[in-house]
Amino acid sequence: MLSAEGRAPAEDDREVAGSARRIATQTQHDGELARLQQELAALKHENSLLHEKLNAALDGTGICLWQGSIPTGELRVFNLQNFQVGDMAPHFEQWSAKLHPDDRAHAIGSYFAHLEGKTPFYEVEYRTISPAGEITWLWDRGRVVDRDADGKPLRIMGSHIDITQRKAYEQRLAERANSDALTGLLNRQGFGKAFTRQSSQGAGALLFIDLDDFKGINDQLGHACGDLVLQQMAAWLRLIMPGSALCGRYGGDEFVVYLHRDVSSHGLAQLADALIGRMRGYVPKPGCPQRVGLSIGIALWEEEPLTFLQALEIADRAMYEAKARGKQAWYLLRV
């Protein structure tokens, strides 16, 4: 028997059943999609809360957490701390390009030494340079957290801290440790270190300067006036000596100067005469007859460099020869 539309009842039943199954399947898919969307929203919310907790825990510490994909070179920083968006390099090549030239080999060498399994972790202090030329010091540490079946590193995680302020503080401490508080010149320790760093350049000269009759200034005019004399001497050294010279207060009323560029007996004589001339006309205190003189010993070497102690011993002998000649004089010993 055919229905009014010309179809058998069985065919109608099969079509209705198929439509019902499709509706049921679609409903099931819609329900599954809604459930997955709810789970995704819940995971995003949980991730947001975890991110907030991470930032709250690290806030003020300066610690930035980062992750690197080793095969692709992609870098990701999870929290910025005191940095701004765009400060962090998104790729290893961009990070290496920002490294200070003096630190690049050390930083990259430490990084790859860890990837190759030579060290248990990667750790280094280095400087980065911004496009504007600003220098930032970082302490960086990380380790590989994921490898493939062959043991090749896939992912590295770590943290870094901005230590620029700490480095500036250390620099100030070093400068204080190596400088004379009264005159601002290098002290004995600082002068010796600086001399050693530069003395491998061949020809050089060391001036050993002693203030004549300085004790009388302290005894008659007081130590405050004596301090002014020492400060004036330091000012003359800065004014008269070449910019490349090292100037220091060796102790008490003794000063030292190291010259390591274009030194000649004629040029040294001119410098010594200029210092003695300045002191000859100097009046420590108005109306006071007390005067101060200079005796200068000069050690000059033109070939093999001397150690600081060797140069100082020769310049000291030359200084006593200048005193023996009546003070207010200089004497040069050529090595």
CB 79 within 8 A of CB 64: yes
CB 292 within 8 A of CB 217: yes
Region for residue 40 given its phi and psi (left: phi exceeds 0; alpha: psi -120 to 50; beta: otherwise): alpha
CA 138/CA 88 separation, integer angstroms: 12
Planar angle of CA 128, 129, 131, nearest 5 degrees: 140
Q: Which element (helix H / strand E) includes 296? A: strand 293-301
> Which residue in the block uniquely carries the two structure tokens 């006309």?
281
At residue 135, the pLDDT reads 93
CA 146/CA 156 separation, integer angstroms: 7
Cβ partners under 8 Å of residue 37, min gap 6: none
Nearest to 210 by CA among 275, 277, 282, 286: 275
Nearest to 219 by CA among 276, 290, 159: 290
At residue 173, the pLDDT reads 86
pLDDT in tens, the chain (335 residues): 555 555 566 666 667 666 767 776 777 787 787 887 887 777 776 666 555 655 655 565 678 889 999 999 999 887 665 555 556 688 999 999 999 999 999 999 999 999 999 999 999 999 999 888 999 999 999 999 999 999 999 999 999 998 999 999 998 888 888 999 999 999 999 999 999 888 766 789 999 999 998 888 888 888 888 899 999 999 999 999 999 999 999 999 999 999 987 789 999 999 999 999 999 888 877 766 677 889 999 999 988 888 999 999 999 999 999 999 888 899 999 98
How far is C-alpha 240 from the chain's CA centre? 31
CB 276 within 8 A of CB 207: no
Cα→Cα distances 182→145, 228, 231, 252, Å: 54, 9, 7, 11
At residue 117, the pLDDT reads 93
CA 217/CA 203 separation, integer angstroms: 37
At residue 13, the pLDDT reads 64
At residue 137, the pLDDT reads 94
At residue 5, the pLDDT reads 56
At residue 305, the pLDDT reads 83
